[in-house]
Amino acid sequence: MVEEVERPARAGLPATLSGVGTKAESIAEIDISQVPRTTSGSVETDRVLGGGIVSGSLVLVGGDPGIGKSTVLLQTSHQLALQGYVVLYVSGEESAQQIRLRAERLRAVSPNLFILAETDLTQIELQIEAVKPDFLVIDSIQTVYHPAVGSTPGSVGQVRECTGHLLRIAKTSGIATFIVGHVTKEGAIAGPRLLEHMVDAVLYFEGERHHTYRILRAVKNRFGSTNEIGIFEMEEAGLREVENPSELFLSERSKGVPGSAVVAALEGTRPILVEIQALVSPTTFGNPRRQATGLDHNRVSMMLAVLEKRSGLFVGSQDAYVNVAGGVRLDEPAVDLGVAVAIASSFKDQGVSPNDVFIGEVGLAGEIRGVSRIEQRVKEIQKLGFSRCFIPSRNLRGWTPPAGIELIGVDSIQQAFEIVFRG
């Protein structure tokens, strides 16, 4: 139950959020030339946003405490200020002096970047009218309150009302707005689910505190794809873009160790090479343990069943632990073959050639099914110096592979195992 105060309807608001009236138009006649995109100064951020920041958009950024949300937004604000845009950074959690100290460390001091330490939304609106920014950052929405709403900051009513005010400001004035949202212990944005429906884009900043890399992922985007990710590395002077994430994820790989296989996954339009690690050992309990990190647990359990039924690997009495090295999460089925090879390698205690990469979806009959965008995956494999790649047989047709790499088409996991583990 949420207590709300009934207030009279506000007069003078536009008929629609965009203020363009209510006349119906043919979709073929709607002019989209007036929807420009502004580069954020970061290739990774622009990729996730769909090509840049859209004027008048409202973007929600979430992530665990201390993961780097304020850092990435302060650096983005600085890059926009360097392009001549006026940016207003509103913080309800830090003082202006604290933000200046962090900006000094990040080398993000610019005369076009204005700082405001305020939580009262009416005062924030007055400063927006005075500064007339091109971009607005609210850090965070759970600390902002509207005096007309009789509840505490961070409550459902306050978050909904404040976000509604910011949405109207963004749409009517064309100010691109970023708001930071706290997350619950389950990892979801705190507050009403309506918050994610109101905004134009929802970005999650992910990563482990004890790792240096961070991943910016879009889970909702009205202006682009939700399959793209941006990868950053946390350094002393802030976040640095990772131009070649495959090298980052394979930098600490141990070659020739049983239970390791390299796969070529696809995140949006970007191919990424990562290492799949598996550890299979006899169980000491009645029920063997099945643990997956970075992969779907049910998918790994299915893979173990297929290996036992179709390949004769008796893993029913074995504990199985499967991990994606580096902490990245893989959701596409094209990594199935790599997972199966890593599990079989650990079970047989036989290493895989360090020059092999595996691509393919595994079906319940043990067949290897075709995958999409095989050309981009193979080009990334060849660029990183791998000499052999196992792919589905059907993906061998219809294109010319690059020179210097051997492609082996396989129809079943048993056929792949015979080639990988022969001798």
Structure tokens given for 341: 């090879």
Burial class (CB in 10 A: 0-12, 13-18, 19+), 30: exposed
Say whether 69 counts as a known binding-site residue.
yes
Do the Cβ atoms of 213 and 207 come closer than 8 Å? yes
Q: What gap in Å lies between CA 170 and CA 180, rounded to an integer?
A: 15
Give, to the nearest 10 degrees, the angle between helix 69-82 and helix 96-106.
70
Say whether 66 counts as a known binding-site residue.
yes
Say whether 68 counts as a known binding-site residue.
yes
Say whether 309 counts as a known binding-site residue.
no
Do the Cβ atoms of 386 and 262 come closer than 8 Å? yes
Say whether 327 counts as a known binding-site residue.
no
Tell me phi and psi for residue 410, to 5 degrees: -125, 150
Q: What gap in Å lies between CA 275 and CA 268, rounded to an integer?
A: 19
Say whether 64 counts as a known binding-site residue.
yes
Say whether 345 counts as a known binding-site residue.
no
Structure tokens given for 79: 């890059």
Give, to the nearest 10 degrees, the angle between helix 336-348 and helix 413-420.
50
Structure tokens given for 164: 């509604």
Say whether 319 counts as a known binding-site residue.
no
- Say whether the peptide bond before residue 140 is cis (omega within 30 degrees of 0): yes
Q: What gap in Å lies between CA 386 and CA 375, rounded to an integer?
A: 15
Binding residues for ATP are 63-70
Residue list for the binding site? 63-70
